Structure 1
Protein backbone atom coordinates (compact mmCIF):
# COMPACT_ATOMS: atom_id res chain seq x y z
CA UNK A 1 0.00 0.00 0.00
CA UNK A 2 1.19 3.52 -0.71
CA UNK A 3 1.68 6.20 1.90
CA UNK A 4 -1.06 8.69 1.01
CA UNK A 5 1.13 11.48 2.43
CA UNK A 6 3.68 10.82 -0.31
CA UNK A 7 3.40 13.37 -3.13
CA UNK A 8 4.54 11.83 -6.39
CA UNK A 9 5.01 14.04 -9.41
CA UNK A 10 6.56 13.62 -12.83
CA UNK A 11 7.51 17.31 -12.88
CA UNK A 12 11.16 16.49 -12.15
CA UNK A 13 11.18 13.08 -13.86
CA UNK A 14 9.85 9.66 -12.97
CA UNK A 15 12.66 8.15 -10.89
CA UNK A 16 10.71 8.40 -7.62
CA UNK A 17 7.61 6.65 -9.01
CA UNK A 18 6.96 2.96 -8.35
CA UNK A 19 8.35 0.98 -11.28
CA UNK A 20 4.94 -0.04 -12.64
CA UNK A 21 3.82 3.61 -12.92
CA UNK A 22 6.77 4.87 -14.92
CA UNK A 23 5.15 4.44 -18.32
CA UNK A 24 2.19 6.50 -17.11
CA UNK A 25 4.63 9.09 -15.75
CA UNK A 26 6.55 9.29 -19.03
CA UNK A 27 3.35 10.24 -20.84
CA UNK A 28 2.93 13.18 -18.49
CA UNK A 29 6.56 14.22 -18.96
CA UNK A 30 6.03 14.10 -22.74
CA UNK A 31 2.89 16.24 -22.53
CA UNK A 32 4.69 18.98 -20.61
CA UNK A 33 7.67 18.77 -22.98
CA UNK A 34 5.57 19.11 -26.12
CA UNK A 35 3.39 21.88 -24.71
CA UNK A 36 6.63 23.80 -24.10
CA UNK A 37 7.82 22.97 -27.63
CA UNK A 38 4.61 24.31 -29.11
CA UNK A 39 4.91 27.53 -27.12
CA UNK A 40 8.54 27.97 -28.22
CA UNK A 41 7.75 27.27 -31.88
CA UNK A 42 4.85 29.72 -31.82
CA UNK A 43 7.02 32.40 -30.21
CA UNK A 44 9.60 32.16 -32.97
CA UNK A 45 6.87 32.30 -35.63
CA UNK A 46 7.36 28.80 -36.97
CA UNK A 47 5.15 28.05 -39.96
CA UNK A 48 1.66 26.97 -38.85
CA UNK A 49 1.50 24.59 -41.81
CA UNK A 50 4.76 22.94 -40.72
CA UNK A 51 3.47 22.50 -37.17
CA UNK A 52 0.04 21.19 -38.09
CA UNK A 53 0.93 17.53 -38.72
CA UNK A 54 3.02 17.29 -35.54
CA UNK A 55 0.36 18.94 -33.40
CA UNK A 56 -2.34 16.71 -34.87
CA UNK A 57 -0.42 13.66 -33.68
CA UNK A 58 0.17 15.16 -30.25
CA UNK A 59 -3.51 16.00 -29.96
CA UNK A 60 -4.48 12.44 -30.93
CA UNK A 61 -2.26 11.00 -28.19
CA UNK A 62 -3.61 13.37 -25.54
CA UNK A 63 -7.21 12.78 -26.65
CA UNK A 64 -6.74 9.02 -26.35
CA UNK A 65 -4.98 9.33 -22.99
CA UNK A 66 -7.78 11.44 -21.56
CA UNK A 67 -10.64 9.37 -22.98
CA UNK A 68 -9.03 6.18 -21.67
CA UNK A 69 -8.84 7.78 -18.23
CA UNK A 70 -12.45 8.98 -18.32
CA UNK A 71 -13.86 5.73 -19.72
CA UNK A 72 -11.59 3.07 -18.21
CA UNK A 73 -9.30 4.29 -15.44
CA UNK A 74 -11.46 6.58 -13.31
CA UNK A 75 -14.40 4.12 -13.17
CA UNK A 76 -11.97 1.32 -12.30
CA UNK A 77 -10.37 3.35 -9.49
CA UNK A 78 -13.76 4.31 -8.08
CA UNK A 79 -14.59 0.61 -7.80
CA UNK A 80 -11.23 -0.59 -6.52
CA UNK A 81 -9.69 2.16 -4.37
CA UNK A 82 -11.55 3.35 -1.29
CA UNK A 83 -11.86 7.11 -1.18
CA UNK A 84 -10.83 7.77 -4.78
CA UNK A 85 -12.73 10.87 -5.81
CA UNK A 86 -10.53 12.48 -8.44
CA UNK A 87 -12.48 11.84 -11.62
CA UNK A 88 -14.88 14.80 -11.61
CA UNK A 89 -12.41 17.68 -11.60
CA UNK A 90 -10.07 15.77 -13.89
CA UNK A 91 -12.84 15.20 -16.43
CA UNK A 92 -13.53 18.95 -16.35
CA UNK A 93 -9.83 19.58 -16.97
CA UNK A 94 -9.96 17.23 -19.94
CA UNK A 95 -12.84 19.22 -21.44
CA UNK A 96 -10.92 22.48 -21.02
CA UNK A 97 -7.84 20.96 -22.63
CA UNK A 98 -9.88 19.67 -25.56
CA UNK A 99 -11.16 23.20 -26.17
CA UNK A 100 -7.62 24.58 -25.94
CA UNK A 101 -6.29 21.98 -28.37
CA UNK A 102 -9.17 22.68 -30.72
CA UNK A 103 -8.26 26.37 -30.69
CA UNK A 104 -4.61 25.62 -31.50
CA UNK A 105 -5.60 23.26 -34.32
CA UNK A 106 -8.01 25.86 -35.72
CA UNK A 107 -5.28 28.52 -35.80
CA UNK A 108 -2.77 26.14 -37.39
CA UNK A 109 -5.27 25.08 -40.03
CA UNK A 110 -6.12 28.68 -40.87
CA UNK A 111 -2.46 29.78 -40.94
CA UNK A 112 -3.15 32.43 -38.27
CA UNK A 113 0.33 32.48 -36.76
CA UNK A 114 -0.03 35.84 -35.03
CA UNK A 115 -2.70 34.44 -32.69
CA UNK A 116 -0.84 31.20 -32.05
CA UNK A 117 1.54 32.30 -29.23
CA UNK A 118 -1.31 33.16 -26.87
CA UNK A 119 -3.19 29.94 -27.66
CA UNK A 120 -0.02 27.86 -27.23
CA UNK A 121 0.79 29.53 -23.90
CA UNK A 122 -2.74 28.91 -22.69
CA UNK A 123 -2.54 25.25 -23.67
CA UNK A 124 0.76 24.80 -21.83
CA UNK A 125 -0.63 26.46 -18.72
CA UNK A 126 -3.67 24.16 -18.74
CA UNK A 127 -1.52 21.04 -19.21
CA UNK A 128 0.65 21.96 -16.24
CA UNK A 129 -2.34 22.84 -14.05
CA UNK A 130 -4.13 19.62 -14.98
CA UNK A 131 -1.15 17.39 -14.19
CA UNK A 132 -0.74 19.28 -10.92
CA UNK A 133 -4.34 18.32 -10.08
CA UNK A 134 -4.05 14.74 -11.31
CA UNK A 135 -0.77 13.33 -10.10
CA UNK A 136 -1.15 13.85 -6.33
CA UNK A 137 -4.52 12.05 -6.48
CA UNK A 138 -3.99 9.40 -9.13
CA UNK A 139 -0.44 8.18 -8.55
CA UNK A 140 -1.10 7.13 -4.91
CA UNK A 141 -4.38 5.46 -5.95
CA UNK A 142 -2.61 3.48 -8.68
CA UNK A 143 0.20 2.56 -6.31
CA UNK A 144 -2.41 1.09 -3.94
CA UNK A 145 -3.30 -1.52 -6.55
CA UNK A 146 -1.48 -4.85 -6.59
CA UNK A 147 1.07 -4.66 -9.41
CA UNK A 148 -0.58 -7.40 -11.47
CA UNK A 149 -3.95 -5.64 -11.23
CA UNK A 150 -2.42 -2.35 -12.30
CA UNK A 151 -0.71 -4.02 -15.26
CA UNK A 152 -4.02 -5.57 -16.33
CA UNK A 153 -5.81 -2.23 -16.40
CA UNK A 154 -2.81 -0.64 -18.13
CA UNK A 155 -3.06 -3.30 -20.86
CA UNK A 156 -6.75 -2.48 -21.31
CA UNK A 157 -5.84 1.17 -21.74
CA UNK A 158 -3.07 0.45 -24.26
CA UNK A 159 -5.35 -1.88 -26.22
CA UNK A 160 -7.88 0.95 -26.55
CA UNK A 161 -5.38 3.11 -28.48
CA UNK A 162 -6.11 3.67 -32.19
CA UNK A 163 -3.43 2.74 -34.72
CA UNK A 164 -2.37 6.37 -35.22
CA UNK A 165 -1.58 6.60 -31.50
CA UNK A 166 0.06 3.17 -31.20
CA UNK A 167 2.52 3.95 -33.98
CA UNK A 168 3.51 7.24 -32.33
CA UNK A 169 3.39 6.38 -28.64
CA UNK A 170 6.71 4.63 -28.00
CA UNK A 171 9.13 7.13 -29.60
CA UNK A 172 7.04 10.00 -28.23
CA UNK A 173 7.26 8.68 -24.66
CA UNK A 174 10.99 7.95 -24.87
CA UNK A 175 12.00 11.24 -26.50
CA UNK A 176 14.50 12.84 -24.09
CA UNK A 177 13.86 10.29 -21.32
CA UNK A 178 16.81 9.10 -19.23
CA UNK A 179 18.08 5.62 -20.02
CA UNK A 180 17.06 4.14 -16.67
CA UNK A 181 13.46 5.19 -17.31
CA UNK A 182 13.58 3.89 -20.88
CA UNK A 183 14.88 0.53 -19.69
CA UNK A 184 12.23 0.26 -16.97
CA UNK A 185 9.36 1.00 -19.33
CA UNK A 186 10.82 -0.99 -22.24
CA UNK A 187 10.77 -4.09 -20.07
CA UNK A 188 6.94 -4.03 -20.23
CA UNK A 189 6.86 -3.81 -24.07
CA UNK A 190 7.01 -6.99 -26.20
CA UNK A 191 10.41 -7.33 -27.92
CA UNK A 192 9.12 -7.08 -31.53
CA UNK A 193 7.16 -3.92 -30.68
CA UNK A 194 10.19 -2.50 -28.87
CA UNK A 195 12.36 -3.10 -31.96
CA UNK A 196 9.82 -1.49 -34.28
CA UNK A 197 9.65 1.52 -31.97
CA UNK A 198 13.43 1.97 -32.00
CA UNK A 199 13.73 1.75 -35.80
CA UNK A 200 10.90 2.45 -38.24
CA UNK A 201 8.66 4.35 -35.83
CA UNK A 202 11.55 6.37 -34.39
CA UNK A 203 12.58 7.55 -37.88
CA UNK A 204 9.00 8.49 -38.71
CA UNK A 205 8.65 10.32 -35.39
CA UNK A 206 11.80 12.36 -36.06
CA UNK A 207 10.56 13.42 -39.49
CA UNK A 208 7.29 14.68 -38.00
CA UNK A 209 9.09 16.45 -35.16
CA UNK A 210 11.73 18.21 -37.31
CA UNK A 211 9.65 21.33 -38.16
CA UNK A 212 9.02 21.95 -34.45
CA UNK A 213 12.70 21.91 -33.52
Structure 2
Protein backbone atom coordinates (compact mmCIF):
# COMPACT_ATOMS: atom_id res chain seq x y z
CA UNK A 1 0.00 0.00 0.00
CA UNK A 2 1.37 3.46 -0.88
CA UNK A 3 2.66 5.45 2.07
CA UNK A 4 0.76 8.76 2.07
CA UNK A 5 2.65 10.32 4.95
CA UNK A 6 4.69 12.67 2.74
CA UNK A 7 1.72 14.12 0.88
CA UNK A 8 -0.26 14.37 4.12
CA UNK A 9 2.43 16.49 5.77
CA UNK A 10 2.81 18.56 2.60
CA UNK A 11 -0.91 19.31 2.65
CA UNK A 12 -0.72 20.23 6.33
CA UNK A 13 2.21 22.58 5.75
CA UNK A 14 0.46 24.41 2.90
CA UNK A 15 -2.65 24.92 5.00
CA UNK A 16 -0.73 25.86 8.13
CA UNK A 17 1.51 28.38 6.39
CA UNK A 18 -1.39 30.02 4.58
CA UNK A 19 -3.33 30.31 7.83
CA UNK A 20 -0.53 31.87 9.87
CA UNK A 21 0.49 34.31 7.12
CA UNK A 22 -3.13 35.39 6.65
CA UNK A 23 -3.26 36.25 10.35
CA UNK A 24 0.12 37.99 10.32
CA UNK A 25 -0.56 40.15 7.26
CA UNK A 26 -4.06 41.03 8.48
CA UNK A 27 -2.37 42.37 11.62
CA UNK A 28 -0.06 44.48 9.44
CA UNK A 29 -3.07 45.82 7.54
CA UNK A 30 -4.81 46.69 10.82
CA UNK A 31 -1.73 48.50 12.11
CA UNK A 32 -1.37 46.19 15.13
CA UNK A 33 1.70 44.36 13.78
CA UNK A 34 4.78 46.41 12.84
CA UNK A 35 6.19 45.82 9.39
CA UNK A 36 9.76 47.03 9.01
CA UNK A 37 11.36 46.63 5.60
CA UNK A 38 13.29 43.55 6.71
CA UNK A 39 10.08 41.74 7.70
CA UNK A 40 8.28 42.80 4.51
CA UNK A 41 11.10 41.45 2.35
CA UNK A 42 11.21 38.20 4.33
CA UNK A 43 7.44 37.79 3.96
CA UNK A 44 7.76 38.23 0.22
CA UNK A 45 10.57 35.68 -0.07
CA UNK A 46 8.70 33.12 2.01
CA UNK A 47 5.43 33.59 0.13
CA UNK A 48 7.15 33.26 -3.24
CA UNK A 49 8.57 29.92 -2.09
CA UNK A 50 5.15 28.86 -0.78
CA UNK A 51 3.43 29.89 -4.01
CA UNK A 52 6.02 28.03 -6.10
CA UNK A 53 5.54 24.96 -3.91
CA UNK A 54 1.75 24.98 -4.27
CA UNK A 55 2.02 25.49 -8.04
CA UNK A 56 4.43 22.56 -8.28
CA UNK A 57 2.27 20.32 -6.09
CA UNK A 58 -0.78 20.89 -8.27
CA UNK A 59 1.18 20.47 -11.49
CA UNK A 60 2.54 17.12 -10.27
CA UNK A 61 -0.99 16.01 -9.49
CA UNK A 62 -2.34 17.14 -12.88
CA UNK A 63 0.51 15.72 -14.93
CA UNK A 64 1.58 12.61 -12.99
CA UNK A 65 -0.89 11.49 -10.31
CA UNK A 66 -4.16 12.10 -12.16
CA UNK A 67 -3.12 10.01 -15.22
CA UNK A 68 -2.08 7.18 -12.90
CA UNK A 69 -5.44 7.27 -11.13
CA UNK A 70 -7.36 7.33 -14.40
CA UNK A 71 -5.38 4.33 -15.64
CA UNK A 72 -5.65 2.14 -12.57
CA UNK A 73 -9.02 3.21 -11.12
CA UNK A 74 -11.01 4.13 -14.22
CA UNK A 75 -14.65 4.84 -13.45
CA UNK A 76 -13.94 4.74 -9.71
CA UNK A 77 -12.40 8.20 -9.81
CA UNK A 78 -13.77 11.59 -10.90
CA UNK A 79 -11.08 14.27 -10.97
CA UNK A 80 -13.03 17.05 -12.67
CA UNK A 81 -13.79 19.05 -9.52
CA UNK A 82 -10.25 18.80 -8.15
CA UNK A 83 -8.81 19.86 -11.52
CA UNK A 84 -11.19 22.83 -11.58
CA UNK A 85 -9.94 23.78 -8.12
CA UNK A 86 -6.38 23.88 -9.45
CA UNK A 87 -7.45 26.18 -12.28
CA UNK A 88 -9.17 28.46 -9.77
CA UNK A 89 -6.15 28.60 -7.47
CA UNK A 90 -3.56 29.43 -10.14
CA UNK A 91 -4.61 33.05 -10.86
CA UNK A 92 -5.02 33.69 -7.13
CA UNK A 93 -1.46 32.51 -6.50
CA UNK A 94 -0.16 34.71 -9.31
CA UNK A 95 -1.98 37.72 -7.85
CA UNK A 96 -0.49 37.01 -4.43
CA UNK A 97 2.99 37.05 -5.92
CA UNK A 98 2.35 40.58 -7.20
CA UNK A 99 0.76 41.70 -3.92
CA UNK A 100 3.66 40.38 -1.83
CA UNK A 101 6.10 42.29 -4.05
CA UNK A 102 4.04 45.46 -3.63
CA UNK A 103 4.12 45.13 0.16
CA UNK A 104 7.87 44.52 0.14
CA UNK A 105 8.31 47.70 -1.92
CA UNK A 106 6.11 49.75 0.45
CA UNK A 107 6.13 48.14 3.93
CA UNK A 108 4.07 50.98 5.45
CA UNK A 109 1.26 50.68 2.90
CA UNK A 110 -1.56 49.20 4.96
CA UNK A 111 -3.82 49.06 1.90
CA UNK A 112 -1.27 46.85 0.15
CA UNK A 113 -1.16 44.66 3.25
CA UNK A 114 -4.95 44.48 3.22
CA UNK A 115 -5.03 43.27 -0.36
CA UNK A 116 -2.48 40.56 0.37
CA UNK A 117 -4.27 39.55 3.57
CA UNK A 118 -7.55 39.16 1.69
CA UNK A 119 -5.88 36.97 -0.93
CA UNK A 120 -4.26 34.87 1.78
CA UNK A 121 -7.61 34.43 3.52
CA UNK A 122 -9.18 33.37 0.23
CA UNK A 123 -6.36 30.91 -0.39
CA UNK A 124 -6.70 29.57 3.16
CA UNK A 125 -10.38 28.79 2.65
CA UNK A 126 -9.91 27.32 -0.82
CA UNK A 127 -7.03 25.09 0.28
CA UNK A 128 -8.97 23.88 3.32
CA UNK A 129 -11.90 22.83 1.14
CA UNK A 130 -9.77 21.41 -1.68
CA UNK A 131 -7.42 19.38 0.50
CA UNK A 132 -10.18 18.00 2.70
CA UNK A 133 -12.04 16.91 -0.43
CA UNK A 134 -8.92 15.39 -1.95
CA UNK A 135 -7.94 13.46 1.16
CA UNK A 136 -11.50 12.19 1.66
CA UNK A 137 -12.09 11.07 -1.93
CA UNK A 138 -8.69 10.40 -3.51
CA UNK A 139 -6.57 8.97 -0.69
CA UNK A 140 -8.71 5.80 -0.36
CA UNK A 141 -8.46 5.25 -4.12
CA UNK A 142 -4.68 5.66 -4.05
CA UNK A 143 -4.41 3.14 -1.21
CA UNK A 144 -6.72 0.67 -2.94
CA UNK A 145 -5.64 0.86 -6.58
CA UNK A 146 -2.22 2.50 -7.08
CA UNK A 147 0.75 0.08 -7.19
CA UNK A 148 3.76 1.00 -5.06
CA UNK A 149 5.93 1.49 -8.16
CA UNK A 150 3.51 4.07 -9.58
CA UNK A 151 3.32 5.87 -6.25
CA UNK A 152 7.10 6.06 -6.09
CA UNK A 153 7.07 7.66 -9.53
CA UNK A 154 4.61 10.28 -8.28
CA UNK A 155 6.73 11.04 -5.22
CA UNK A 156 9.86 11.28 -7.37
CA UNK A 157 8.15 13.86 -9.60
CA UNK A 158 7.18 15.87 -6.53
CA UNK A 159 10.71 15.79 -5.09
CA UNK A 160 12.34 16.79 -8.39
CA UNK A 161 10.50 20.08 -8.54
CA UNK A 162 10.72 21.02 -4.87
CA UNK A 163 13.27 23.13 -3.02
CA UNK A 164 14.79 21.09 -0.19
CA UNK A 165 15.92 24.14 1.76
CA UNK A 166 12.31 25.29 1.98
CA UNK A 167 10.35 22.03 2.11
CA UNK A 168 12.43 19.95 4.53
CA UNK A 169 12.38 22.26 7.57
CA UNK A 170 8.65 22.77 7.06
CA UNK A 171 8.20 19.01 7.30
CA UNK A 172 9.92 19.16 10.65
CA UNK A 173 7.70 22.05 11.71
CA UNK A 174 4.38 20.44 10.80
CA UNK A 175 4.96 16.71 11.39
CA UNK A 176 4.21 15.04 14.69
CA UNK A 177 6.97 13.27 16.59
CA UNK A 178 5.57 9.91 15.50
CA UNK A 179 5.51 11.04 11.87
CA UNK A 180 9.08 12.32 12.07
CA UNK A 181 10.17 8.98 13.51
CA UNK A 182 8.50 7.20 10.60
CA UNK A 183 10.17 9.52 8.08
CA UNK A 184 13.56 8.95 9.70
CA UNK A 185 13.00 5.20 9.53
CA UNK A 186 12.15 5.35 5.84
CA UNK A 187 14.69 7.97 4.71
CA UNK A 188 17.57 6.96 6.96
CA UNK A 189 20.47 9.18 8.05
CA UNK A 190 20.25 11.38 4.96
CA UNK A 191 17.11 13.02 6.36
CA UNK A 192 18.87 13.95 9.59
CA UNK A 193 21.78 15.45 7.66
CA UNK A 194 19.52 17.48 5.38
CA UNK A 195 17.46 18.75 8.30
CA UNK A 196 20.60 19.79 10.14
CA UNK A 197 21.76 21.74 7.08
CA UNK A 198 18.46 23.49 6.37
CA UNK A 199 17.17 24.10 9.91
CA UNK A 200 19.33 27.13 10.90
CA UNK A 201 18.43 29.26 7.88
CA UNK A 202 14.76 28.39 8.20
CA UNK A 203 14.70 29.34 11.87
CA UNK A 204 16.38 32.66 11.16
CA UNK A 205 13.73 33.38 8.55
CA UNK A 206 10.95 32.36 10.96
CA UNK A 207 12.29 34.70 13.65
CA UNK A 208 12.54 37.60 11.21
CA UNK A 209 8.94 37.11 10.08
CA UNK A 210 7.15 36.03 13.24
CA UNK A 211 9.47 37.31 15.96
TM-score under structure 2 normalisation? 0.81
**Long gaps (5+) in structure 1:** 1-17
| In structure 2, distance between residues paired with 1:208 and 1:147 | 39
Q: Does 1:30 align with 2:13?
A: yes
1:100 to 78, 92, 115: 92
1:5 alignment counterpart:
none
1:80 to 55, 64, 72: 72
Offset, 1:61? 1.3
Maintained 8 Å contact 1:68/1:160: no
Offset, 1:182? 1.1
CA RMSD of aligned residues (A): 2.2
Which structure: larger Rg? 2
1:12 alignment counterpart:
none
| In structure 1, distance between residues paired with 2:95 and 2:176 | 33
Offset, 1:106? 1.1
1:201 alignment counterpart:
198
1:52 to 32, 38, 44: 44
Rate the CA distance shift 1:61–1:49 in 2: closer, same or farther, 3 A. Answer: same
| In structure 2, distance between residues paired with 1:120 and 1:189 | 33
Q: Does 1:66 align with 2:58?
A: yes
Secondary structure of the residue aligned to 1:76 is: helix
The Cα offsets for residues 46-100 of structure 1, whole Å up to 9 and x where unpaired, read as 6443310010111111111111100000001110124343322212111222222
Larger % of helix: which?
A: 2
Query: Which deviates more from structure 2 when the two are superposed, residues 66-75 or residues 198-207?
Result: 198-207
1:14 alignment counterpart:
none
Secondary structure of the residue aligned to 2:182 is: helix
Secondary structure of the residue aligned to 1:156 is: helix
Offset, 1:21? 0.9
Maintained 8 Å contact 2:58/2:86: yes
Offset, 1:208? 2.8
Q: Does 1:177 align with 2:165?
A: no
Rate the CA distance shift 1:141–1:184 in 2: closer, same or farther, 3 A. Answer: same
1:210 alignment counterpart:
207
| In structure 1, distance between residues paired with 2:200 and 2:147 | 33
Maintained 8 Å contact 1:86/1:134: no
